Structure 1
């Protein structure tokens, strides 16, 4: 694909996300997307076959972005395990908040679209397996006496933070940021037999 074609495709994806967040998935139209992108209606079909396809591609890019954004800064790696957990949760919540409107749409579409539901499951799996590997390393290194089975511990801890973020940032529950983050960090650390994280 030419550079111009790549720019047009990226412009359509940016426009699609804007339209989906504004109109919702069901009410968004391809003409809304092409109007927002400033291209002719027929141009859309050069790059995508349907509204569903461009939505799935936008969601795939969202998953990549969030996975990258949820990584704590490299400077944190030299700190305590508790501090690393705290910073990882902080990074995840920051990323979640910036993408909350699109995440809400993903949750909605996954209730009636089997392909999106499977994609949603696979995207979550990446985060869970990352946490599972970290728990297994902690146990192997003897840093903590982890009595929980790593896979289920990772599933439960990720679900806790993810659902908390959904209630907070999508449903609009009024939580105080620092208190909410600290609570999640304490629960996470204590579940693994660690000390309390830094405030």
Structure 2
């Protein structure tokens, strides 16, 4: 009887060790799966950040699509926007004058409501200008969209965003619009029309 009891005890010990090994392997598998999932999430976020960091011709955030047109420098001597294409901005839409060595850049933009419900927006809070010789993104000086705060479903609006900046020097990075809306961020390409303006202050 003693030998039979001893054999059963050894069998039980072996089964316990096998169970412990299985449980340890399960823990390892779970930890590895969690680590892989976390790595995948980090990689996805990095790719999304890289995509947002690269300027695009248009973008959709919070139900609105933004598409900048070709930007131009305002000739402040006569308060006309010389867009090189026959279009001139009335002086009433160009309040004030840039300070120091800065010039006024007009960036045309089209906003489209791509959803089936009314969307609100705030141009002054959502859009800034980056690149060029700017160390930090520049907020808007003004716009010509008035107090329009919302767009109805499927509707669109066109206007200009104005920024006072120094004319970028050779070798400066391209200008871009930084658009932040509903917790998301996207950079939009700013294409230029014509050559750099001659500075007119003090003339």
TM-score (norm 1): 0.23
TM-score (norm 2): 0.22
- The higher-RCO structure (CA 8 Å, 6+ apart) is 2
Rg larger for: 2
Higher-helix-fraction structure: 1
